[in-house]
Structures are given as C-alpha cells and as structure tokens.
Amino acid sequence: MDTSAPETYDVVGVGFGPSNLSLAVALEEGSHPVSSAFFERQPSLGWHRGMLLPSAKMQVSFLKDLATFRDPASRFGFVSYLHDVGRLTRFVNNQDFFPTRREFHDYLEWAESKLTLKADYSCEVTGMSAVPADDGGPARRVRVRMRDAAGGTRSVEALNVVVSTGLVPRMPAGLEAGEHVWHSSRFLHRLRERQGRPLRRVAVVGAGQSAAEIVRYLHDHLPEVRVTAIVPSYGYAIADDTPFANQVFDPEAVDRYFHGSQRSKDAIWDNHRNTNYSVVDDEVIRGLYERAYEDEFNGAGRLDFRNLARVTDARPAGGHTRITVHSLADEETYDLDVDVLVCATGYAPMDPAAVLGDLDAYCLRDENGRHRVTRDYRMVTGEGLDAGLYLQGGTEHTHGLASSLLSNIAVRSGDIARSITARLLSGATTKGTDA
C-alpha cells in the first residue's frame, strides 16, 4: 500500500467516457491552467464497445461532438478529426450528418490521443471522504481512494470531483445476465466468446434502437440463426427526430427545464420521451420490415416477431435456455427454447451515492429524495463541505432529457469547466445554491 502523501489536484474525474473526455478537452482549452486527473476502471477508452455494430449509425449530428457546440473553433471537433485523418472531403461528399458509431468511437480515441493529459486506466475508485480543514471549518478537499488491476491501492485529493461513471445496464425483472442471457451492452463481446459453438436460435427482447439493430445484425451476418424478436408494443415505434422535437436537446432547453415547474418538467417528459426512449430510427424499422417480408416470401422462417409480449423467466433446459413469454394480448404464457436470450432493455441512470461513499451524507436532497443539483451541475452540499462535487449524468430530474446523452455534451462540459475555474479563482469556498 502506498503510504506517501497523496497528490492534490484542482479536479479529479471519476470515469473517463465521452462526458469526462469532453470535460478534459474543455479544461485543456480553458483560459486558466487547472491541474486534473481522471480515473477509469476500464483498461482503455471505451464507449458502448459491445454495440459497435458495422451498420449502426449515430443518432445525433456529427457536430454534436466533444467540443463544437462549446467552441466551434476547437481543435478537438469532429471536423478537425476528419481533416487530420484525411477523410474530410469524402465525408462531405457522403452527404450524411450521421457517422457510424465505429467511426465516432475512432474519433473519441483520436481526441484522447491529442490531449496533454493522460487518464489512469484499470483504476477503480472505491470511495471518497472529506479531508478535515486545518482551521476547523468546512472541508475544502476530498480524498479519493482507488484500486488498480493488480489490487494495489492509493489515494489522491481534489478541490473538485466530477463523477461520470456512465449508465447501468438494466435487465428485465427476475432475469440475471449470464452465459446464455446477455445484456445488449455486451453483445459483440459475448458473440466473440461463443465462436466455435453453434448458435441456431436467438431471442432478442426490447423495444428500442439496440434491440432492432441486434435483430438486423443477426439476420444479416449470421445466416444460420433464427431470430425471435420479443417486443412489448405492436412492433417497433418510430423515433421522433423531426426538427421541432429535436429542440428539446438544445442547450437553451436545459435552462427552460431547470427553471421550470415540476408540472412543466413532467409535460416535457410525457411529450418528448419518444425522441429517445424505446423508439427506433425510421430507416432501421423499414429495413427490418422489408427483411421480414422477403423472409416470409422465401419461406426461410428466420425472422419471427412476437409483438405485445415480454419475457418473464429464463432457465437452463438441457443444452438450451428455456424462456417464458407472457402475451399481453391474451394474457397467455408459453415457453421457447433458444441458445441465447439478448436483453436490449436499456439502462438505468448512474447512482451517485454508490460512488460518493461517505460524501453522500453531505449532499442535500429534494422532497422526492433526489440529489439537489445546481444549474452548473454541482451537487448542493451541507455546511460541512465546501469542495465541489459535480455530476455528468444522473441529473435527468434537474436538467432534462439530454442529461445522459451526447446531444449536449460539449456545452455541459463547458458549463462545468467554467464553474470549476471560477471557484478556483475565487477561493473555492462559496456554497452551491439551486440556481
């Protein structure tokens, strides 16, 4: 165990996915030097690696990258990436706002390579605590404890901490991920692990983009597989990506949401949930229906859609997995034997309390038990803590639909970077308020 005095930073980032990568970019391009360190439990930068399917495209414009909406002249923008790798002209000729996810992931790795700062990988934060102030006043620093891949431990201290540990895969009630039951976040990894073993029948449960893309991928790339798509609605619903609806992801929309009443916030969710949740792009839906029609015409029987249904159980049965399907149309249940069940059932927001550890006791909550967060994404803390605690994610209740999405990532990171810099320049002892 390292017993030397811990290093102290202006900012420590917990997690180094796209959000904190964008923050690192904003800090590097800021007008004042800020010392920072970022810790990530994965062995390298990774963004939904298990879903980087060859045909999968981004659902947001390439201009909604790590930096452009914060600073169009940033050297970390997607256009700079295209110019640097020699594809700018061909990308423009392609006349498409939406790169593939694989290309966007390559862009993220490119941006990381251009940073002066280097994140610490294979380093999991295990807890945080307040460092008592020498003058007996509120704690101004936070001690961050971590463990590396070899089991070694160490600590650092920070005046500000930004938590961005990402979304948590959500499984259907009563089901656990395992060898034959996969969450979509691990789809490609699990598929590679299974190479050499026969895969004849796969069930995919879910109503969103990931579910539809996995069904399409299995049909197109594994011709020996019969795919059963289990959808709780009457087929896949189309995502509303029309210009007016997309305004809900504008930076200005965050202000309106944050300062709005609870009634207005509820209305925004009710009216615009279909921009992102349990919906599928029109192109993917139409492509799947065409495949299903051709499959029926050819008598291949490779695509099987079970609409108005959900999976209630999965258990081993000989060399297969037996799943129980509940029909919402007639309330009947029946069993299907499959080699693999893929659960494309989305994600839950990160729980900051799980990462904050002892610090969570300082964090104030609203009448519904949710963390109070300021407009600049700083958690509101009690009298005993003056260190800055910021969230990238887990703020849907305060900042709206784009809180965990790429849509507003550059502006959000800029807001946090400016807030941290202002705190450092002012002495970093003012309390956060709900404004």
Of 326, 346, 366, the residue that ends a domain is 346
Q: Is residue 257 situated within a structural domain? A: no
Q: Is residue 150 situated within a structural domain? A: yes
Contact indicator for 162, 392 with CB cutoff of 8 Å: yes
Start-to-end C-alpha separation, the chain? 42
Q: What is the pLDDT of residue 198?
A: 86
Q: Is residue 245 situated within a structural domain? A: no
Domain check: are 71 and 138 in the same one? yes
Of 346, 362, 392, the residue that ends a domain is 346
Q: What is the pLDDT of residue 433?
A: 45
Domain check: are 74 and 159 in the same one? yes
CB neighbours of 380 closer than 8 A, spacing ≥ 6? Answer: 363, 364, 371, 372, 373, 374, 431, 432, 433, 434
Residue 298 has pLDDT above 50, yes or no: yes
Cα→Cα distances 357→9, 22, 368, Å: 20, 25, 20
How far apart, in whole angstroms, are the C-alpha atoms of residue 26 and residue 92? 26
AA identity, residue 273: R
How far apart, in whole angstroms, are the C-alpha atoms of residue 119 and residue 44? 9
Per the structure, the complete domain to which residue 328 belongs is given by: 169-239+277-346
How far apart, in whole angstroms, are the C-alpha atoms of residue 400 and residue 254? 6
Domain check: are 361 and 325 in the same one? no
Q: Give the least confident one: 60-74, 98-112, 391-405.
A: 391-405
> Can you tell me which residue has the tokens 């390559």?
106
How far apart, in whole angstroms, are the C-alpha atoms of residue 322 and residue 338? 6
In this prediction, residue 122 has a pLDDT band, given cuts at 50, 70 and 90, of: very high
Count of beta carbons in the 10 Å neighbourhood of residue 148: 15
Judging by DSSP bridges, how do beta strands 347-348 and 333-338 pair with one another? Answer: unpaired
- Provide the 8-state DSSP code for 75: T
Q: Hey, is 391 helix, strand or coil? A: strand
Domain check: are 160 and 232 in the same one? no
How far apart, in whole angstroms, are the C-alpha atoms of residue 170 and residue 350? 11
Of 346, 365, 390, the residue that ends a domain is 346
Q: What is the pLDDT of residue 4?
A: 67
Domain check: are 175 and 125 in the same one? no
Contact indicator for 327, 310 with CB cutoff of 8 Å: no
Q: Which two tokens stand for residue 49?
A: 């690696």
pLDDT in tens, 158-184: 999 999 999 999 999 999 999 999 999
How far apart, in whole angstroms, are the C-alpha atoms of residue 19 and residue 409? 6
Residue 423 has pLDDT above 90, yes or no: yes
Domain check: are 341 and 353 in the same one? no
Q: Which two tokens stand for residue 23?
A: 């923050």
How far apart, in whole angstroms, are the C-alpha atoms of residue 340 and residue 229? 12
Domain check: are 281 and 160 in the same one? no
CA triple 14-16-22, angle to 5 deg = 110
CB neighbours of 59 closer than 8 A, spacing ≥ 6? Answer: 98, 209, 239, 241, 276, 281
> Could you give phi then psi for residue 87, rounded to 5 degrees?
-120, 10
How far apart, in whole angstroms, are the C-alpha atoms of residue 298 and residue 361? 62
Mean pLDDT of 391-412: 94
Q: pTM, whole model, 2 decimals? A: 0.94
Domain count, the chain: 2
- Provide the 8-state DSSP code for 139: B
CB neighbours of 86 closer than 8 A, spacing ≥ 6? Answer: none
Mean pLDDT of 117-121: 95
Question: Exposure of 309 by Cβ count < 10 A (0-12 exposed, 13-18 middle, 19+ buried)?
Answer: buried
Domain check: are 281 and 361 in the same one? no
How far apart, in whole angstroms, are the C-alpha atoms of residue 212 and residue 207? 7
Domain check: are 305 and 281 in the same one? yes
Q: Is residue 272 situated within a structural domain? A: no
Does residue 69 or residue 432 have the better pLDDT?
A: 69
Domain check: are 82 and 200 in the same one? no
Task: Return contacts of 372-378, CB within 8 angstroms, 24+ apart.
Answer: 372/398, 372/434, 373/398, 373/399, 373/434, 374/432, 374/433, 374/434, 374/435, 375/255, 375/258, 375/415, 375/435, 376/415, 376/416, 376/418, 376/419, 377/412, 377/415, 377/416, 377/419, 378/416, 378/419, 378/432
Q: Is residue 197 situated within a structural domain? A: yes
Q: What is the pLDDT of residue 319?
A: 84
Q: Is residue 341 situated within a structural domain? A: yes
Domain check: are 96 and 229 in the same one? no
How far apart, in whole angstroms, are the C-alpha atoms of residue 401 and residue 268? 9
Contact indicator for 421, 415 with CB cutoff of 8 Å: no
Among residues 218, 166, 200, which one has the least CA distance to residue 344?
218
Q: What is the pLDDT of residue 55?
A: 84
Q: What is the pLDDT of residue 5?
A: 77
How far apart, in whole angstroms, are the C-alpha atoms of residue 377 and residue 29? 20
The share of the chain scoring above pLDDT 90, in percent, equals: 91
Q: Is residue 259 situated within a structural domain? A: no
Contact indicator for 351, 394 with CB cutoff of 8 Å: yes
Average pLDDT, the chain: 94
Q: Domain holding 49: CATH number?
A: 3.50.50.60
Residue 157 has pLDDT above 90, yes or no: yes
Domain check: are 192 and 147 in the same one? no
Q: Is residue 2 situated within a structural domain? A: no
Contact indicator for 174, 313 with CB cutoff of 8 Å: yes
